[in-house]
Amino acid sequence: MEFIPHEIDGDVMILRAEGGLDASNASEFMKQVNAMTEGGFSRLIIDCVDLAHISSVGLGVLFRTHARAAKLGGEVKLCNVSGMPMQVLTVMRLNRVFGIYKDVDQARLSFRRSG
């Protein structure tokens, strides 16, 4: 699993998720997110086009990422979520916590609309 910094759009960091998010990589993901937020990025888009699976540990990491960004006045938005990751987010009702968008462009536009 990798979360690759894909693009910077103003004060929005766009990450691309590849593989899965689970106990084997949750700690590394949090280190990356902490480095980004310490670097001034509290508005994150996670492109899940290549996210194959997510575990309960992965859900916890996403929620902590959301809480950290919110504490800094930002937000985490997800896009291109499908298959099992979308089912898990829906069952856990986290689709109500995260903004989930069809693609990166819609997620990017939602940040522009919200200020």
Q: What tens digit of pLDDT does each residue of 23-37 get?
A: 998 888 888 888 888
- Cβ burial of 46 (10 Å; 0-12, 13-18, 19+) is buried
Query: What pLDDT does 2 receive?
Result: 56
Which CATH number is correct for 2-109, 3.30.750.24, 3.30.465.10, 3.40.50.12160, 3.40.50.1820? Answer: 3.30.750.24
Domain layout of the chain by residue ranges: 2-109
Contact 4, 18 (CB under 8 A): yes
pTM score of the predicted model: 0.88
Over residues 10-15, mean pLDDT? 89
Contact 72, 39 (CB under 8 A): no
Q: Average model confidence (pLDDT) for the chain?
A: 89
